[in-house]
Each structure stands twice: as structure tokens, then as C-alpha cells.
């Protein structure tokens, strides 16, 4: 299986900050990397697919980049509703998908 | 817009079979060429992919669960189902159903709200 490693595991930031979350794959996954946001008690929500494509309705302060093994999710100007847990997921090795362990973004 | 909703027993005894259903509204499980997924999340932990059934009926299961998992489609009821046999406490989790967003490369799109299944005697 392709292993996905996110860093950091948790992060404290303030409203208005710019934050970056990193996801590293154990082998090249080209651009087949997706990002999800999960709030407590809710299902994950797709934010970005194939590295950099913003899902419909997702604010433009969210962006993704990378290729191969290293990827980043950037959130510009953090809003109160952005405090959540973020997961990356590789879809390169379809039909077997794997997730990162998650990054919890908390209010400082 | 498609909506998914999981249903099934919230408590299952060890060694028994967990059975869940995902009811789909706003779309047909047997058309459109979609992948219908099951994903779970153990308490306080990350997401684990269980497997899928394609609208044509093809299935794939995570090798770590393959010997115990069956996913099936019921076109008359417009739902798909998950069966996980010989459960243990390690199978206690919130179980989600989902559909692909953009084919098999584009992530998991619509999700159900999730249902907690506890394995306990």
C-alpha cells in the first residue's frame, strides 16, 4: 500500500493567519491527491481533488499544490469555520485508496 | 443533488455480522457509472477505506478486510449494502458511505452522515 504521511499532526493558528499542511506519499502518486475537511461529528468534505482543483463551493482561500510525493494544502486568511481536521488521500493506486492520518487545526 | 444515508444496527455482538445499508436519493445506484464506497473511522482515529461497488456491480475490497467484507447493490431499493463478518471490538467505528466525485481518481464526493456501530457483548 502507498503510505500517506501528514505534517504536522496538529497546528495552532489564529484567525487571519496563513497555514500550510503537508502530505507526503511513500511513492510517486503523480497528481492524484485529494484533500478533505472534517468537523467534529460530521462526515469529511472534499475540498480539493487531483492536487489543485477546488471542489465546487469551496472558498478560494483554500489551495493545493505539489506532484510526485510531496503536496501541500494552504489556507489563506483563516476563518473561524476553517478550524477542523484535514486529511489527504491518494487516488493513484485505484482501486486501493489510502488516507493520511490527519492534521488537526486548532485556534490559538 | 444526490444524498446518501446510512442505516443499520448500532450495536453488534462480537463474532456476528455487521450489516449496513446506504440509501441513495437524487440519483440511481445502477446508472451513471459511479463508484459507491464504504469508509470507516474508528473512535478518535483516521479514515480507513473499506471498498466499493461500481454501478455495474463490480466490487473491490481493501485487502486488510477482504476476507470478511461483502458490498452489494440493490437496484430495486436504490441502495447498497455492507456486510462485515466475524466482527471484533476493533471494528467499532463510524461507518460512512460515499460516492465518487469525479471518477475513480477524483476523490470521495457526496458522503452520508455516518453511523456509529459498536461491537460489544
The pLDDT of residue A77 is 95
The pLDDT of residue B32 is 83
Q: What is the mean pLDDT of each run of 10 residues along chain A (108 residues)?
A: 97 97 98 97 97 97 98 97 97 95 95
pLDDT in tens, B53-82: 999 999 999 999 999 999 999 999 999 999
**Bond into B58 cis (ω within 30):** no
Q: How far apart are CA A65 and CA A49, in angstroms?
A: 10
The pLDDT of residue B107 is 93
Nearest by CB to B47, which of A55, A87, A96?
Answer: A87
Count of CB atoms situated within 10 Å of the CB of A60: 7
The pLDDT of residue B67 is 97
Chain A nearest-CA residue for B95: A43
What burial letters (b/e) apply to A65-77, b meaning 16+ CB within 10 Å?
A: ebeebebbbebee
- Comparing CA positions, the residue from B38, B54, B40, B58 lying closest to residue B103 is B54
Average pLDDT over residues B103-118: 94
Confidence category of residue B106, pLDDT binned at 50, 70, 90: confident
Q: In chain B, which residues have their Cβ closer than 8 Å to the Cβ of A91? A: 104-107
Q: Which is more confidently placed, B111 or B30?
A: B111
- Give the distance, in angstroms, between the CA of residue B77 and the centroid of all CA atoms in the same chain: 16
User: Residue B104: is its pLDDT beyond 90?
Assistant: no
Q: How far apart are CA B105 and CA B107, in angstroms?
A: 6
What are φ and ψ of residue B107, in 5° steps? 90, 175
Q: Do B63 and A96 touch (CB under 8 A)?
A: yes
Q: In chain A, which residues have their Cβ closer than 8 Å to the Cβ of B96? A: 43-44
Measured between CA atoms, how close is A100 to chain B, in angstroms? 8
- Give the distance, in angstroms, between the CA of residue A16 and the centroid of all CA atoms in the same chain: 19
Chain B nearest-CA residue for A52: B106
- Give the distance, in angstroms, between the CA of residue A26 and the centroid of all CA atoms in the same chain: 16
| Chain A positions touching chain B (beta carbons under 8 Å) | 32, 34, 36, 42-46, 49-50, 55, 87, 89, 91-92, 94-102
The pLDDT of residue B103 is 86
Nearest by CB to A49, which of B47, B102, B112?
Answer: B102
Amino acid at each position: 500500500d502507498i503510505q500517506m504521511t501528514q505534517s504536522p499532526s496538529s497546528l495552532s493558528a489564529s484567525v487571519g493567519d496563513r497555514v500550510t499542511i503537508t502530505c507526503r506519499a511513500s511513492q510517486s502518486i503523480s497528481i492524484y491527491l485529494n484533500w478533505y475537511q472534517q468537523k467534529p461529528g460530521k462526515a469529511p468534505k472534499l475540498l480539493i481533488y487531483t492536487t489543485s482543483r477546488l471542489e465546487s463551493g469551496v472558498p478560494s482561500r483554500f489551495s493545493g499544490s505539489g506532484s510526485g510525493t510531496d503536496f501541500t494544502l494552504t489556507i489563506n486568511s483563516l476563518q473561524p469555520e476553517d478550524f477542523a481536521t484535514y486529511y489527504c488521500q491518494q487516488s493513484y493506486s485505484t482501486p486501493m485508496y489510502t488516507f493520511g492520518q490527519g492534521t488537526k487545526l486548532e485556534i490559538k | 443533488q444526490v444524498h446518501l444515508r446510512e442505516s443499520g444496527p448500532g450495536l453488534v455482538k462480537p463474532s456476528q455480522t455487521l450489516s449496513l445499508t446506504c440509501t441513495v436519493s437524487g440519483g440511481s445506484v445502477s446508472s451513471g457509472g459511479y463508484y459507491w464506497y464504504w469508509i470507516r473511522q474508528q473512535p478518535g482515529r483516521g479514515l480507513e477505506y473499506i471498498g466499493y461497488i461500481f454501478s455495474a456491480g463490480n466490487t473491490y475490497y481493501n485487502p486488510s478486510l477482504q476476507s470478511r467484507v461483502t458490498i452489494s447493490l440493490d437496484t430495486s431499493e436504490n441502495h447498497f449494502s455492507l456486510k462485515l463478518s466475524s466482527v471484533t471490538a476493533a471494528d467499532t467505528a463510524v461507518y460512512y458511505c460515499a460516492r465518487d466525485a469525479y471518477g475513480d481518481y477524483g476523490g470521495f464526493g457526496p458522503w452520508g452522515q455516518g453511523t456509529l456501530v459498536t461491537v460489544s457483548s
